[in-house]
Amino acid sequence: MPADLSPIDKAKFAAARRAVDLIEDGMRVGMGTGSTAAWMVRCLGERVRQEGLRLQGVPTSTRTADLARQVGIDVVSLDEAKWLDITIDGADEFDRELNLIKGGGGALLQEKIVATASDQMVVITDASKEVNHLGAFPLPVEVIPFGWQTSRALIEELLESMDVLGRQTTLRLNGSQPYVTDEGNYIVDLHLNRIGNARQIALVLNQIPGVVENGLFIDICDMVIIGGSDGKVEIRDINDGSIANEKVDFAEDDNIFHDME
C-alpha cells in the first residue's frame, strides 16, 4: 500500500477490500456513493479484471456509475436488475444497532432505494463513524425545489416537538448556488447534534409536503465492516449478533493503486 495514503484512507481501503470478498460470481450488486464506496468500486473492478468475476453493478449516483465503468464493471439500472443480492456502501454515522445517517455525498435517495431493494446491505467504514447516538453529523433531507423554503419552515416547526439537541437547518450549497441532486432536488441539512428517537424522526419527516426522503437508514443495514489503518477489520453482523476480527493483507504493488496513478 502506498505510504502516502492517510490513516483514514488506509482504513477505508481495508474495509472495502474485505467487503468485496462477499461478492460471488453472477451477483447483482448495489454500489454506494462517496469516498469509502469509491474504494469498494475500485476493489471490485480489480476482482473483475483479475478473476473474470461476472456481476451486474447498480450505482447510486452518476459519479459511482462513471467510476464503475472506468474499472470494467457492467453497469445496469435497478429496473434492469430488479432485485439485488447485496449493496455495499459507506455511512456518515452508525450506532450500535447499525442504524445510519447517510447522504453526506448527496445521493441519499438513490442509496436508500438501492439498499432496500437488496437481500443484504453492508456498510464499510472506519471507527470514527461510530456514535452512541446519531445526530452529530448533519441529517440530510432531500426536498423538491418548488416551495423548498416552505418545506424547510415545516421541518423547523416539526423539530420543536422532537427529542433533539439542535434545531438549526441549512440549505446545502454548491458554491453560491443550491446543491442539486441527481434527481434535480435540493438538500436541507438538519444540525440536530443528538437524535433521541431516530425511528420517529425518520417517519415524520417524510410526511412533510415537499420532502422526498431523509438520510436516516433505520433497520436497513445488516453488516458493518470497520477498517483500521493497520489492515485489521472488525465485522459486525446485526442478524446473528456476531463480531469477527480479521486482517486484510495488501501490498504496495496492488493493481488498484496503479489504476489511481
Binding-site residue ranges? 33-36, 89-92, 102-105, 129
CB-based contact 32:86 (threshold 8 Å): no
CB-based contact 36:93 (threshold 8 Å): no
Annotated catalytic, 93? no
The C-alpha cell at 163 is 427529542
CA distance 219 to 99: 6
CA distance 195 to 218: 13
In the Cβ-directed half-sphere of 235, how many Cα atoms lie within 13 Å? 18
Q: Is 82 left (phi over 0), alpha (psi -120 to 50) or beta?
A: left
The C-alpha cell at 130 is 461510530
The C-alpha cell at 67 is 467510476
Identified catalytic residue from 24, 46, 93, 111: 111
Say which amino acid occupies 85. D
Binding residues for substrate: 33-36, 89-92, 102-105, 129
- Say how many C-beta atoms besides its own lie within 10 A of residue 54's C-beta: 11
The three-class DSSP label of residue 179 is coil
CB-based contact 181:142 (threshold 8 Å): yes
Point out the residues that are catalytic. Answer: 111
